[in-house]
Amino acid sequence: MGNAGLFSTAGDLARFCEMMLGAGRLGDVRILSPESHRRMTCNQLGPPLPPRGFGWEMDPQSLHRPRRLSEKAYGHSGHTGQSIWIDPEKQVYVVVLTNRNHPQMVGGQRKTQQYQARARIGDAALKFLESEGQLSKDLP
């Protein structure tokens, strides 16, 4: 996942998310310094701009953000249809890998609908985890 040119597997993205949930650690290995992780995951912009970390969207109103996440969640989307959201409060992440690179579906209302679809897919996965007792039900 990246922005229309950097791709990976769902398994590798899961490992990356686990590292981010571990504040820069994956198992016994430190990947990011605590300061690097903190700077990446806290708002670097001031109003009136929407909140963003270093490389991460933090806006609760983001079109591709699942609504079942806490206010502490941060995410990123890619041009060709990927979204990733990591929620340190709930200790959960959502990776949605789709392909929307058809020339008639790249911009305008179709783009908005596809971003919203990614959020709905993420919410469906989170709802399933809640129903299985693997995620707290304290958020809508």
Q: Which tens digits make up the pLDDT trace of 37-84?
A: 999 999 999 889 998 988 899 999 888 899 999 999 999 987 777 889
CA–CA gap between residue 60 and residue 95 (Å, rounded): 17
Q: Where are the alpha helices (DSSP H) in 22-61?
A: 34-40
What residue ranges define each of the domains in the chain, with the CATH number in brackets? 10-131 (3.40.710.10)
Cβ neighbour number for residue 36 with a 10 Å cutoff:
12
Structure tokens at 101: 């690179």
For the cut 90, the answer to whether the pLDDT of residue 90 exceeds it is: yes
pTM value is: 0.83
Confidence of residue 92 (pLDDT cuts 50, 70, 90): very high
